[in-house]
Amino acid sequence: MDADRIKQFFITHIEKMILGVIVALSGFLIFSGSKLPNFLDEHQPDKLAAKATQVKLAIDNDHNEAILEERLQEIEAFDIMKETKKIYTGIDPSIYKLSKPWEAQNEQSVVRRQDPQLLPPVDLRTHGVLTSIAIKGSVVDPLDYPLAALEPADAVEKVEAPKPRTRRSRSRNMGMDGMDGMGGDMMMEEMMMMEEMSGMMGGPDSGMAGMAGPTRKFASEFDFGHRPVVGEDKRNPKPTVGWFIAGTALLPHRAIYEAYELALKDADAYDPRRDTPLYFNFEVQRADVTDKPIEQLADADWIDVWHLKRYALLADKYWAGYAPEIVPDDYRDDQLTVWIPPVLLDDYRPYSLHPKIPMQTRSELELLEIEKKKREEAENPGIFKFDEDEEFELAVPGGAPGMAGGGMEMMDMMGSGMGMDPMDMMSGGGMMMMGRGKVEKDPVKYKLLRFYDFAGSDLFRTAPVFGRTYVYRLRYAVIDPNFPASQMMQPKSSSLAPEVARRVTDKMASAIKENKRDFQRWSEWSAASEPATLPTFETYRVGPVQGGSSSTWNVAGKPVEYQRDTPSAKISVSQFMPKYGVKVPLQFEITEGSVLSHKAESTDVVDPITLEVKKLPEPDFVSTTTVVDIDGGKSLQIAPELTEPGMILMFDQSGQLRLSNEIVDQELYRIETYAKEKGE
């Protein structure tokens, strides 16, 4: 038989072969079982029960006699005095000898307290700012400022908006679709008529046009600044010029916190209330680099301009409140992040923030991260990461923005028993600081440092001057953990490292002599900022550009464009008038070569305190800014109804070339020209 026939045989008869094996195995098991003895022939149940009863009775019987004599002999031979003496006999320690025996601790082996490293601030950025701010005015008359005395502005002329194109219904019968189309067009026309009537009668932001004349209101949606209110001293707010250089920097909080842990956490007498970073003060210095490079600056070129005490006095005695805080509480410190001035109307975010400081709290960022993970898990349900911790803690949200409590009256009530200045108490020193220290599980990487250098010699002798170029640097101070503000928190001298002990000993001697503890410990100065200057009193907003007509000629085989008409543009020029404390906008048309000096019969100006629109008679703008070139405004080939964005190149009053863009300036141009109120 060949292999194929053998294979075919097994395939055909394999079931029969398996069945035969099973039958043979079953027969063998039956035969083996029949040869086994019967269990009942050898073991009867009643006999087994009787045997178990006999064993139980034998166990229950008393067998003490068998061991009593032996135990009595052991008791008589036991000598209690000998055994007691044996207990107090020392044991040979050699059997318990350690390879590395313990050493007795002495005073040299205690971990000594070091001075934590204070890293300097980083990434200092400065911006020149010109705006209106609210200051404290009259107690009697809330309108005791020149701008409030102006007449109300005239009503604006409404621009008739083009009617929207009606869409023809696809359905030609008068069914529901046709009715919907007609109803939509009629409703649109009715809404347009209502808007026109509302503009004539005066909307919610336009006031009522009655016999006494119209009273227009500036739309609150375009008010990006602070809304001043009467303070506790009953002094009414009024506008004034806010001309300053703003600065923001980053405090490396996480690195500082880790430096504190490295120097103090494992040292003797560790106390988290004292031995964690307690920021207390900061200083700002300025150097004039108009005629000197930054690389050649010496220490004598830097002058002190600002510190926390000066800001506290300025805010309490001069400002009418503070603008709402926009930085989350996680990323700022009350001693380092200076209050935002009460800026009126303008958006103060560009110079009050730092690009590396998040705009959301840590809890919000954690929730966003959780939502992101949930979305990723929903998109990839088969993936699970076992090494991730699903537990998280929600951080406490930041405090509510607005006015700071306390004031100078609270500082006057505080005692100076520790020999501290009342302003130091406001800054957070003394007993107030004892409870501020806290253990942070995950410190934020950066906290925000913020300052403002105000111009105006009537306020400060060292104020910056227009036309000069400056650089800035700053440093901060902490409450010294080895020489704190409160004497009760002072660590023992024996717990300090030798070099720290010498420094603290000198401070103690000075405190006894002057009756005042110098508890501030300063960081190094930051690197110098980029140069900054005070801005001019003039700003520009580019409006629509009308491109001039041109022809293209073929000259020597090359196309040459010939400009037949000069392009023109609308522009809104604002000049700050210190008399009124606001920017005064004026709109007119310009061409290439125009100088932005202009006269008009009147212009509209917003009272930032009441938001009423006032009429300023005969504004006369004197400017040396010259229009160099105008580009854009031509129809696009792909969409003739659209035009190219307009751009204007100007030589401004500070002697610099400035390029303004219609798209970038569109929002502010529309606000200054009351485009929405006109219906444009």
pLDDT in tens, 546-568: 987 777 788 888 888 777 788 89
- Please give the single-letter amino acid code of residue 622: V
pLDDT for residue 384: 42
pLDDT for residue 269: 85
CA separation for the pair 36, 34 (Å, rounded): 6
Instruction: Determine what percent of the chain is predicted with pLDDT higher than 70.
Output: 81
pLDDT for residue 399: 39
The answer to which of 81-95, 214-228, 418-432 has the lowest mean pLDDT is 418-432
Non-local CB neighbours of 213 within 8 Å, separated by 6+ positions = 151, 152
Concatenate the DSSP letters of all residues of 618-664 into one string.
Answer: S-EE----EEEEEE--PBPSS-TTSBPPPEEEEE-TTS-EEEEEHHH
Judge whether residue 386 has pLDDT over 50: no
Query: Which tens digits make up the pLDDT trace of 115-167?
Result: 999 999 999 999 999 999 999 988 888 888 999 999 999 988 887 765 554 54
Residue with tokens 């094996």: 21
**Alpha helices by DSSP H, 420-497:** 422-427
Region 482-495 average pLDDT = 91
The total of other beta-carbon atoms located within 10 Å of residue 479's CB is 26
The total of other beta-carbon atoms located within 10 Å of residue 605's CB is 24
Judge whether residue 599 has pLDDT over 60: yes
Q: For 224-274, what is the HEC assignment? A: CCCCCCCCCCCCCEEEEEEEEEEEEEEECHHHHHHHHHHHHHCCCCCCCCC
CA separation for the pair 212, 504 (Å, rounded): 74
Average pLDDT across the chain, whole number = 81
The answer to which of 94-98, 249-253, 261-265 has the lowest mean pLDDT is 94-98
The answer to which of 416-430, 462-476, 647-661 has the lowest mean pLDDT is 416-430
Q: Which segments within 193-271 are labelled E, that is strand?
A: 237-251
Q: What's this model's pTM, rounded to 2 decimal places?
A: 0.68
Give the three-class secondary structure for 26. helix
pLDDT for residue 40: 77
Give the three-class secondary structure for 390. coil
